[in-house]
Structure 1
Amino acid sequence: MTAPYACQPDDSRGRLLPENLSSFRSPWQRDRDRIIHSSAFRRLKHKTQVFVEQEGDAYRGDYFRTRLTHTIEVAQVARTIAGALSLNTDLAEAVALAHDLGHPPFGHTGEDALSALMAPYGGFDHNAQALRIVTRLERHYAGFDGLNLTWETLEGIAKHNGPVAAPLPYALAEVNGQWDLELSSNASAEAQVAAVADDIAYNHHDLHDGLRAALFTEADLADLPVVGPAFAEVDALHPGLDRGRRRHEALRRVFGVMVEDVIAVAQNRLAALQPRSVEEIRAMDGPIIRFSKPLYQNLKAIKSFLFTRMYRAPSVVDERKLVTAMLNDLFPLYMTNPEMLPEHWRPEAFAASQTERARIVLDYVAGMTDRYAMAEWERICG
């Protein structure tokens, strides 16, 4: 039984192109399934979180998170939190599964590079690109481009991180022009859950991946809030534990602290504010789903540590320079030589204006996996 402030399947605003309801799936179960079966979702397998796919030895590299494993973890956390708060778990899961579809190759480095390249043509934003993918670029269905997702899922993709202010990235403006996503308001509680689940997942797994990559050690984490006490608790309960089990036991406690904090804060706020509908959630002054202030400050300290020791580690910075140079080579080559694009991309690119061509090239490059982008750069640039 869901709460009155949860999104209700029977009250969904439906799809831009109406379809018959499924006899055995809710609208958001159907959205979830379409996202999972999309080409963009499969490509997340070979898109980077932090480390470029080829970095390190093969054995160690196979254990680093990719966009796909990260997305699966976010969806699991989102279902857990949504269930504990009597929200619609299917909608929370659908938004979580779609939240990273718009990420280009090479993680945030790729996004930074494409943002700079697209600055003269309306910019680039991975949330907006995810919307472009699910409304236009997936072309498998006979009756429509995209996945024809429900309004609530599109809203969640667009503003799970909060209201979106002007000027809008062109991809978001395009979708919002077709169907008003009410960008100035909060998203549903389910979409807010997906956003917090994203924070929980990467705070947890970036610590794990950084340790595996030997960018820092367990001893370096001893003075960090939440993390240091978690290791101390494991040592007290399980003295002499081997390194791998000790690491796992400590970091799963860090994970648990974050999840339990979000649930407790949301339960207290919901009990105090007594929202009676999802519209009251959307109209609130700020999100209803969030970390407590003390934990938020602790997570800022953890993120600061990760920024210095992981995201800006010398080996990672070297990789950032290399892949930025690759994208800076590929993008203008496709712009001036659209015949280099795959055959089914060429007709539209040749007929387009400069801005339209840039958006077509962006769609192509942003859809690349790490390994494909590297192979194309090697093939074209030698």
Structure 2
Amino acid sequence: MVTPSATLGVEKYRDQSRRDFARLIHCPSFRRLQGKTQLFPSHESDFFRNRLTHSLEVAQIAKSIAIRINSTDPFFKRNPINLDMVEFAGLAHDLGHPPFGHNGEATLDRLMLRHGGFEGNAQTLRLIARIEKKTTTEFPSASRSPRAVDPVSLTDLRLGLNLTYRSLASILKYDRIIPQTEAARVSQGSEKKPVKGYYASEGKLVERIKAHVAPEFGDKFRTIECHIMDVADDIAYSTYDLEDAFKANFLTPLAMMAKDDEFKEKIAAKVRESLSTKLPGVSASFAVSDVNDILGEIFKPLLQFNDATLKKLNEGATEAELSFLIGTHTSAGSQALAEKGYLRTSFTSDLVGRFIRGVQVIPDSSCPSMSAVHLDVDTFKSVETLKHFAFELLIVSPMLKIAEKRGDQIIKTLFECFMGDRSLLPSDWRELYGTIDSEAWQARVVCDYISGMSDRYCVEMYARITSENPITIWKPH
């Protein structure tokens, strides 16, 4: 069968970036983001964000940043940023994240250490450029039946969603090949955690991306759309993870401000590291007092006394009365922000708006696609402080680490089962597994399959294989 799309000519009503946007929205991997945890498991409450809603928020923030740059910067008034492409980057940036978040990523990387590793950003590129079942080099243009691998040359024929080079470039955050062997990782001292970059299997593709998008550019490759997406992602993390934590009553503003200096020094050290790597021309000085200043500024409304309290203070309150007034006022304000939806929404909205206004652009007139975007220094420090607070208090907290530890066991068991018996794989993945008789190829196929699972599907698959009382043995996969 030849599909209708194989005979279509140029669609004049939309450009290629709009077509790429549509292909992303309609692909299964995008839908599966709704089943992947952002911070708290979404089945605990329909309020909590998942990877899909997070991606929608990142896309909206990214588009707002691009609109602001287009309307305020003289260079981009004449050479506007493509809004569809920026939105595409925001929507696609988390596609490669596996089930069970950071721990799932670390588990798959450990299992794939001898075969090129695993990393979420690398998997995003591989997914949209290779794994998604849209086109191959033969189908639908020259063949009636799609095949993933040429049986003679053993060449991978898959083209994923068959996107433009500029769209692929928009999610290419790290311009480095992940080492292919365990020995190479050990020699670099990078065997303990995932390496940011792209897989060697996509190395030639990245070369073509660079040649088409910025052929004369000699520095680290990152497009303006990718810069904007990365900033938008940081803004979303730094605000919305806190909102979810406030709603869940796992965290309050007062609890953040009351953390001891040892904890705050850990935050300050991470901000210093971020300053030195992301804003290298800026002083990396950042201390506990700076953490306190930022929290005090962000949560200032909690510390401002109302007229009734000010009156009591001015009337000459005793030390005990003063302590009581300040304590009850700040505690009530902190609890109100955590519990009251109107206050939470206003708080996060104000923060996002403030952070967007802190975005700066550095146009590159000789190569506009490589123009840089970053936050101004003060905004950057605020975003990084909140982001690392959320990470240390929530993502690596015992509460969430217990759930993630369970995920480690589930992924490891599934990987070993599929590698030991390919008949457990769905028919299309089983066929792909058998096309090349190579452990590295087969491990990558299994890794691709597991990384695409939602959290719930991964748990269900584990139960079907290991449980004496699985939910069902007939559910299609």
TM range (shorter): 0.7 to 0.9
Change (3 A) 1:326 1:194: same
Deviation at 1:222, TM superposition (A): 4.5
Change (3 A) 1:152 1:237: farther
Post-superposition Cα deviations, 1:242-276, rounded to whole Å, max 9, x if no partner, equal 722222222222212211101xx22xx44xxxx32
Q: Corresponding residue for 1:288? A: 372
> Partner letter of residue 173 of structure 1?
A
Change (3 A) 1:236 1:132: same
Change (3 A) 1:379 1:188: same
Change (3 A) 1:152 1:140: closer
Q: Which runs of 5+ in 1 are unaligned?
A: 1-16
Q: Distance in 2 between matches of 1:238 and 1:181?
A: 58
1:92-131 pair list within 5 angstroms: 92-131=86-125
Q: Corresponding residue for 1:229? A: 297
> Partner letter of residue 107 of structure 1?
G
Per the normalisation by structure 2, the TM-score is 0.67
Post-superposition Cα deviations, 1:277-325, rounded to whole Å, max 9, x if no partner, equal 4x2553xxxx721112222223332233222211122210111111111
Q: Distance in 1 between matches of 2:306 and 2:31?
A: 40
Corresponding residue SS for 1:102? coil
Q: Corresponding residue for 1:309? A: 393
Q: Distance in 2 between matches of 1:49 and 1:308?
A: 15
Structure whose alpha-carbon radius of gyration is higher? 2
Q: Corresponding residue for 1:255? A: 352
Q: Corresponding residue for 1:9? A: none
Q: Corresponding residue for 2:228? A: 193
| Identity within the alignment, % | 33
Change (3 A) 1:166 1:180: farther
Q: Pick from 404, 411, 423 the counterpart of residue 320 of structure 1.
A: 404
Q: Distance in 2 between matches of 1:92 and 1:335?
A: 38
Corresponding residue SS for 1:290? strand
Residues 1:174 and 2:209 are matched in the alignment: no
Kept in 2, the 8 Å contact 1:50–1:108? The answer is no
Deviation at 1:171, TM superposition (A): 6.1
1:10-29 pair list within 5 angstroms: 20-29=9-18
Please say which of residues 116-125 and 347-356 is displaced more in the overlay: 347-356
Change (3 A) 1:21 1:340: same
Residues 1:152 and 2:241 are matched in the alignment: no
Q: Corresponding residue for 1:4? A: none
Kept in 2, the 8 Å contact 1:225–1:302? The answer is no
Residues 1:368 and 2:444 are matched in the alignment: no
Kept in 2, the 8 Å contact 1:35–1:98? The answer is yes
Please say which of residues 336-345 and 233-242 is displaced more in the overlay: 233-242
Post-superposition Cα deviations, 1:43-74, rounded to whole Å, max 9, x if no partner, equal 111111122344x4xxxx21111110011001
Post-superposition Cα deviations, 1:167-192, rounded to whole Å, max 9, x if no partner, equal 47896432331452339633221221
Q: Distance in 1 between matches of 2:368 and 2:132?
A: 33
Per the normalisation by structure 1, the TM-score is 0.82
Residues 1:207 and 2:242 are matched in the alignment: yes
Q: Distance in 1 between matches of 2:394 and 2:40?
A: 10
Kept in 2, the 8 Å contact 1:52–1:106? The answer is no
Corresponding residue SS for 1:101? coil
Post-superposition Cα deviations, 1:83-138, rounded to whole Å, max 9, x if no partner, equal 11122211111121111111111122211111111111111122221122112211
Q: Corresponding residue for 1:163? A: 175
Q: Distance in 2 between matches of 1:93 and 1:35?
A: 11
Kept in 1, the 8 Å contact 2:234–2:383? The answer is no
> Partner letter of residue 19 of structure 2?
R
Q: Corresponding residue for 1:44? A: 33
Q: Distance in 2 between matches of 1:281 and 1:94?
A: 15
Corresponding residue SS for 1:181? helix
Q: Distance in 1 between matches of 2:296 and 2:394?
A: 18
Runs of 4+ with >4 A deviation: 168-171, 222-228, 234-242
> Partner letter of residue 155 of structure 1?
A
Kept in 1, the 8 Å contact 2:93–2:121? The answer is yes
Deviation at 1:163, TM superposition (A): 3.1
Corresponding residue SS for 1:289? strand
Q: Pick from 15, 31, 34 the counterpart of residue 20 of structure 2.
A: 31
Higher relative contact order (CA 8 A, sep 6+): 1
Kept in 2, the 8 Å contact 1:46–1:370? The answer is yes
Change (3 A) 1:200 1:300: closer
Corresponding residue SS for 2:358? helix
Corresponding residue SS for 1:157? coil
Kept in 2, the 8 Å contact 1:155–1:187? The answer is yes
Q: Distance in 1 between matches of 2:379 and 2:133?
A: 43
Q: Corresponding residue for 1:7? A: none
Deviation at 1:227, TM superposition (A): 5.2
Residues 1:377 and 2:452 are matched in the alignment: no
> Partner letter of residue 421 of structure 2?
N
Kept in 1, the 8 Å contact 2:177–2:203? The answer is no
Post-superposition Cα deviations, 1:172-225, rounded to whole Å, max 9, x if no partner, equal 432331452339633221221111111111111111111122221132245755
Kept in 1, the 8 Å contact 2:237–2:387? The answer is no
> Partner letter of residue 229 of structure 2?
A
